[in-house]
Structure 1
Amino acid sequence: MKHPENILEVAALKPDYLGFIFYERSPRNFSGEIPEIDPTIKKTGVFVDAEIEFILEKVEEYNFKAIQLHGKESAEYCKELRSALNQTNSVEIIKVFSVKETFNFKELKPYEGIVDYFLFDTKGKNKGGNGIVFNWEVLKDYSSKTPFILSGGIGFDEIENINKLITYFKREEKSHLLYAVDVNSKFELEAGLKDQEQLKSFKENLG
């Protein structure tokens, strides 16, 4: 999210999370104030290989309830961030991993028990917001106990396949693992400006 009025429009749909990007190279880079929204919506700061002190400053300034790490942050970095966050308040940590046709799930092991969720996005030229869907079949090999968030170019065309994926995990008694669906670029009128009506329709047809 980027624009105050649009933030209020989207918050009225009661999403579980709203993301705010702090990465100067992103066209969605956020600055300014966040208007008051429903406190049940978890405001989420999105960072790319940022200094921990910078993240802590933004958590305090905006009262973030979750942090999304979209760079090459190591497990040790995440552990240090977790320790620092726990000194003030409980903030969720979401670690992003880029996927295309294949993925080595062994890469997740060092992060187990440190981060709250993994997020799988499409590998592309940008740090997210590429508008491309990765091969979701690879997720059927997911063996971690950490819940994950599905991301990467998701729009209306993916609703049927998302619902199939939800059904698959329920059938495998792993429904708790597919934690959330993250949408972004496919619902934008321009970078950082979301189409409220399309988001509303998507939410009504999901699941």
Structure 2
Amino acid sequence: MSDIKVKICGLSTEDTMQAALDAGADMVGLVFFPKSPRHVNLSDACKLADMARGKADIVALTVNMDLDGLSRINELVGPDYFQFHGSEAPESLAAAKVMHGKKIMKAISVSDKSDLEQALYYSIVADRILFDAKPPAGSDIPGGNGVSFDWALLEDLDLKKPFMLSGGLNMDNVAEAIRLSGAKEIDLSSGVERERGVKDPALIRSFLAKVKNTQAEAVKE
């Protein structure tokens, strides 16, 4: 395991943002989706983004948001990436990319091999693909549900674009998830929370330390 990028998503407080930055997160995610327990308003998002600017890539997660909403986030928050986590069509991604000049990440919900075909479709437009588990029955949010999928489905996947692994990752299973999937990038949300929607600074620091230590051990071997 080497050069693993880590994104901590769903940050909503200054102490958790600071913990992620201090521990070396490569990307930090802000959620703009009112149904999510990790949703942040624009005022708080601006403060959090200012903390991260120049230290980690800022990712604005949206779900089927219209272009006006994206424009407002772009103007006030100034993210490095827009992460589309809904049922947005590739044309919507392309329009946002042209209008706002930002990199685009598209989340793909996975339960079996056939779902990976979507990734090939979206990778033509997106700069990065994020693979997440399909939400459980009854969930009204598309991600951050703490459930995983069969990571081995991603083995030997060749998208010609970077991809990120998400869904149910935590301290106990991240090494195995990386080994089975071949992912070089991982996304954490519920795995560093003490309760749903509430990030824990200590868990964030511990998780990032574990990833770095695992990488160091892999290099020694």
> Aligned partner of 2:84: which letter?
L
Q: 2:23 aligns with which of 13, 22, 27?
A: 13
- How far did residue 97 of structure 1 move? 0.5
Contact persistence 1:6–1:193 (CA under 8 A): no
Q: 2:185 aligns with which of 180, 184, 207?
A: 180
> Aligned partner of 1:85: which letter?
H
Q: TM-score, normalised by structure 2?
A: 0.80
**Partners of 1:188 and 1:179 in 2: how far apart?**
23
Instruction: Write the deviation string for residues 75-101 of structure 1: whole angstroms up to 9, x where unpaired.
Output: 111111111122xxxx22100010124
1:146 aligned counterpart, secondary structure: coil
Deviates more, 1:34-43 or 1:76-85: 34-43
- How far did residue 111 of structure 1 move? 2.1
- How far did residue 59 of structure 1 move? 1.5
Instruction: Write the deviation string for residues 112-136 of structure 1: whole angstroms up to 9, x where unpaired.
Output: 3311000000101331111111101
Q: Structure 2: any 5+ residue segments left out of the alignment? A: 1-10, 216-221
**Partners of 2:184 and 2:62 in 1: how far apart?**
21
Contact persistence 1:105–1:142 (CA under 8 A): no
**Partners of 1:159 and 1:153 in 2: how far apart?**
9
Q: 1:27 aligns with which of 24, 37, 43?
A: 37
Q: 2:117 aligns with which of 106, 112, 132?
A: 106
Q: Per the alignment, do residues 2 and 15 of structure 1 end up closer, same or farther by CA in structure 2, a change over 3 Å counting?
A: same
Deviates more, 1:182-191 or 1:47-56: 182-191
**Partners of 1:154 and 1:53 in 2: how far apart?**
33
Q: Structure 1: any 5+ residue segments left out of the alignment? A: 170-177
Deviates more, 1:14-23 or 1:191-200: 191-200
Corresponding position of 1:172: none
Corresponding position of 2:84: 69
> Aligned partner of 1:47: which letter?
T
2:205 aligned counterpart, secondary structure: helix
> Aligned partner of 2:132: which letter?
D
Q: Per the alignment, do residues 143 and 24 of structure 1 end up closer, same or farther by CA in structure 2, a change over 3 Å counting?
A: same
Corresponding position of 2:205: 200
Instruction: Write the deviation string for residues 1-49 of structure 1: whole angstroms up to 9, x where unpaired.
Output: 1123332232222211111111111111101322432422111110000
**Residue 119 (str. 1) matches residue 130 (str. 2):** yes
**Partners of 1:64 and 1:92 in 2: how far apart?**
9
1:143 aligned counterpart, secondary structure: coil
> Aligned partner of 2:82: which letter?
I
Instruction: Write the deviation string for residues 48-79 of structure 1: whole angstroms up to 9, x where unpaired.
Output: 00002211210220121111100001111111
Counterparts of 1:150-189 in structure 2, within 5 Å, are 150-165=165-180, 169=182, 178-189=183-194
Contact persistence 2:192–2:207 (CA under 8 A): no
Higher relative contact order (CA 8 A, sep 6+): 2
- How far did residue 179 of structure 1 move? 4.1
Which ranges of 4 or more aligned residues in structure 1 deviate by more than 3 Å?
Answer: 101-104
Contact persistence 1:3–1:192 (CA under 8 A): no
Q: Per the alignment, do residues 204 and 103 of structure 1 end up closer, same or farther by CA in structure 2, a change over 3 Å counting?
A: farther
